[in-house]
A = this chain, B = another copy of it.
Amino acid sequence: MKKLLTLSISLALVVAAFAADTAEVPYPTNYRSWTHVKSMVIQPGHALHASFGGIHHLYANDLALQGYRAGSFPDGAVIVFDLLEAPARDHAITEGPRKVVGVMHRDATRFAATGGWGFEGFAGDSRTQRAVGANAAAACFACHQSHRGRDYVFSSYRP
Contact = CB atoms under 8 A, between A and B. Distances in A.
Interface residues on A, range: 20 to 34
B44 A91 contact: yes
Given A32-B159, A159-B32, A91 B45 contact: yes
B49 A36 contact: no
Contacts of A35: 32-33
A63 interface: no
Contacts of A55: 39, 41
Contacts of A94: 40
Nearest to A84: B158
Smallest CB-CB A-B distances: 3 pairs: A46-B91, A36-B36, A41-B93
